[in-house]
């Protein structure tokens, strides 16, 4: 579908907590080892929030960084979309809290939830608002604080996740379009494979004692999710390439959801992509869910791995089950800001 306006990616940002939790630290909590975690996941450390840090505070920091990168005044932002599975409140939305903090006083704001694929869903929604001419400047943020929803006695899940936020700023352009294609999918029949039960209808509260806290823990069938992911990622990449009218061979960089290095490597191999084409920071941050793709994109740009012009495929998968991809162009017009 041809839209009247193109969506130009002008800002990237990210934020992670200061506290580093290494594999050695986890050896003191559960029956695991640095060797076991590293060989199976590629994760060496992750960032975990401390008291006073929240999903909202991380998202605000990432948003401000993206706005600064783009060199715009926050008052021109028309819409804020936050992808998160772990908001601080059921309401108000995280997006509204960010709007108040950054001074985007004229913007609409809402959250969406598609687990680790959330940022891809947010990118697709933002593209439609910009492409139709409804809004000119859209800020999208992926943020998750899974550490508060983990069973720290379960070595199969607590070693995987970290906390963080990543942000992208998109602006309308009549001359240039950086979002070449998006592709979204879902399969609710697999919803039970990866979930955090709510303390609502699943566990009704009829008395004075709250339901057991363990109901809030993340539950995952790791083997099934792995099998789903290694098929979903190549499928999503190929489908987006078809929509964009390019071949997989035209991709310069793969920016995947940072869930597990073995999944990333397996997907890249199936796509025929080289190791140097993979943008990865899972060793530093673990799985930051909806934040992982924008964080990886930011890091790839900041360390000079992604140099303009570059064709990048962003691809995510997660609870729902959901998966999706986006083909973006990182163009030379952004290069002057990389030095800032």
Of the listed ranges 18-32, 35-49, 169-183, 194-208, the least confidently predicted one is 194-208
So what's the pLDDT on residue 160? 97
Question: CA quadruple 131, 132, 133, 136: dihedral positive or negative?
Answer: negative
Domains of the chain with bracketed CATH: 6-178 (3.40.47.10), 180-338 (3.40.47.10)
- Please give the average per-residue pLDDT across 235-262, as a whole number: 98
Beta pairing class for 108-112 and 322-330: unpaired
Average pLDDT over residues 191-198: 91
Q: What mean pLDDT do residues 228-256 have?
A: 98
Q: How is residue 230 annotated by DSSP?
A: H
Dig out the tokens for 128 from the structure.
């439609």
Low-confidence winner among 43-47, 271-275, 311-315, 333-337 (lowest mean pLDDT): 333-337
pLDDT band at 273 (very low <50, low <70, confident <90, very high): very high
Q: What is the pLDDT, as a whole number, of residue 339?
A: 41
Q: Is the pLDDT of residue 337 over 60?
A: no
Pairing of β 179-186 and β 164-173: unpaired
Give the separation between CA 215 and CA 210, rounded to whole angstroms. 11
Three-state DSSP state, 302: helix
* Calpha distance 338→11 (Å, rounded): 10
Q: What is the mean pLDDT of residues 106-121?
A: 98
Name which residue leads in pLDDT, 196 or 252.
Answer: 252
Mean pLDDT of 330-337: 60
Q: What is the pLDDT of residue 340?
A: 38
pLDDT band at 200 (very low <50, low <70, confident <90, very high): low
53-94 pLDDT, tens digit each:
999 999 999 999 999 999 999 999 999 999 999 999 999 999
Q: Which residues are catalytic?
A: 116, 257, 287
User: Each residue of 211-226: pLDDT tens digit?
Assistant: 555 457 999 999 999 9
pLDDT of residue 4: 76
Three-class DSSP category at 275: helix
Structure tokens at 153: 């006695």
Containing 172, the helix (H) or strand (E) segment is: strand 164-173
Distances in whole angstroms, Cα of residue 201 to Cα of each of 48, 68, 211: 29, 42, 12
In this predicted structure, what is the pLDDT of residue 2? 67
pLDDT at residue 210 greater than cutoff 60:
no
Residue of higher predicted confidence among 242 and 204: 242
Q: Is the pLDDT of residue 338 over 50?
A: no
In this structure, the chain runs to a length of: 340
* Rounded CA separation 19/332 (Å): 35
| pLDDT value at 158 more than 90 | yes
The answer, yes or no, to whether residue 206 has pLDDT greater than 80, is no
pTM: 0.94
């Amino acid at each position: 579908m041809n839209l009247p306006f193109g969506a130009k990616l002008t800002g990237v940002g990210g934020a992670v907590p200061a506290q580093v939790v290494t594999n050695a630290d986890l050896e003191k909590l559960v029956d695991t080892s640095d060797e076991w975690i590293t060989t199976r996941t590629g994760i060496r450390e992750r960032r975990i929030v401390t008291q006073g840090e929240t999903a909202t505070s991380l998202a605000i920091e990432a948003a401000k960084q993206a706005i600064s990168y783009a060199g715009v005044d926050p008052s021109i932002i028309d819409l804020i979309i936050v992808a998160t599975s772990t908001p601080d409140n059921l309401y108000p939305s995280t997006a509204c809290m960010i709007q108040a903090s950054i001074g985007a006083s004229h913007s609409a704001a809402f959250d969406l939830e598609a687990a680790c694929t959330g940022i891809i869903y947010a990118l697709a929604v933002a593209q439609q608002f910009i492409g139709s001419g409804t809004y000119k400047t859209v800020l999208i943020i992926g943020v998750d604080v899974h550490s508060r929803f983990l069973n720290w006695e379960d070595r199969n899940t607590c070693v995987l996740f970290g906390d963080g936020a990543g942000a992208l700023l998109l602006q309308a352009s009549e001359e240039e379009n950086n979002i070449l294609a998006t592709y979204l999918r879902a399969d609710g029949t697999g919803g039970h494979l990866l979930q955090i039960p709510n303390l609502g209808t699943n566990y009704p509260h009829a008395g004075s004692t709250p339901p057991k806290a363990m109901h809030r823990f993340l539950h995952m069938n790791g083997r099934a999710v792995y099998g789903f992911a290694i098929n979903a990622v190549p499928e999503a990449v190929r489908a987006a390439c078809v929509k964009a009218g390019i071949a997989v061979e035209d991709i310069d960089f793969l920016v995947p959801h940072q869930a597990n290095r073995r999944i990333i490597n397996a997907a890249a191999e199936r796509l025929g992509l080289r190791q140097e084409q993979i943008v990865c920071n899972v060793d530093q941050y673990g799985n930051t869910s909806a934040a992982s793709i924008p964080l990886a994109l930011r890091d790839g740009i900041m360390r000079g791995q992604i140099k303009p012009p570059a064709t990048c495929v962003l691809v995510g998968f997660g609870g729902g089950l959901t998966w999706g991809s986006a083909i973006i162009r990182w163009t030379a017009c952004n290069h002057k800001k990389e030095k800032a």
